Amino acid sequence: MKRTLSIGLISLISIAGSAQWAQPNGVPAFNAKPPAKGTNLPPILAGAQLENFQHPAQVKAYQAAAKMPGVFHQLPCYCYCDRHAGHKSLRTCFESEHGANCSTCMKEALFAEQQTKLGKTPAQIRAAIIRGDFEKIDLVKMDR
């Protein structure tokens, strides 16, 4: 009996403790529309700020964000940085070095660029990101 209670208690503690590592539910923060004209948003890192990045995929992701800031403004980021870093959309990830240190951000950025080139709207890209389609992006191939 004592052993059963001990195993039950350990199981309960394990389950409760593992909840903190579970992926949050729901769609992360994004904006339904591009920023209003005249809105002053922080700049996306560019130029010399990208020189210390070691992998081409990092630079490509920032270049994509710089080319399409309005699209990125309308996309969620599934590293859930809205909850731990206060980010407002995928665009926010590229205003600092956060995007270069996060494979999720880079995959989403390169996916968004690819889909934009295919003529997809930000709403269509957002729906595809929510489905997890960005996970198919291979960052290693981007480094070649």
**Predicted structure pTM score:** 0.82
Domain assignment present for 103 = yes
Domain assignment present for 12 = no
Domain assignment present for 2 = no
Model pLDDT, residue 142: 79
Residue 23's pLDDT band, with cuts at 50, 70 and 90, is low
Model pLDDT, residue 25: 80
Which H, E and C letters describe the chain, residue by residue?
Answer: CHHHHHHHHHHHHHHHHHHHHCCCCCCCCCCCCCCCCCCCCCCCCCHHHHCCCCCHHHHHHHHHHHHCHHHHHCCCCCCCHHHHCCCCCHHHHCCCHHHHHCHHHHHHHHHHHHHHHCCCCHHHHHHHHHHCHHHHCCHHHHCC
Domain assignment present for 40 = no
Our count of domains for the chain comes to: 1
Residue 143's pLDDT band, with cuts at 50, 70 and 90, is confident
Q: Which domain holds residue 84?
A: 54-144
Domain assignment present for 42 = no
End-to-end alpha carbon distance in the chain: 60
Model pLDDT, residue 1: 58
- 22: pLDDT strictly greater than 90: no
Tens digit of pLDDT for each residue in 63-107? Answer: 999 999 999 999 999 999 999 999 999 999 999 999 999 999 999
Provide the token pair at 63: 């270049």
- 2: pLDDT strictly greater than 60: no
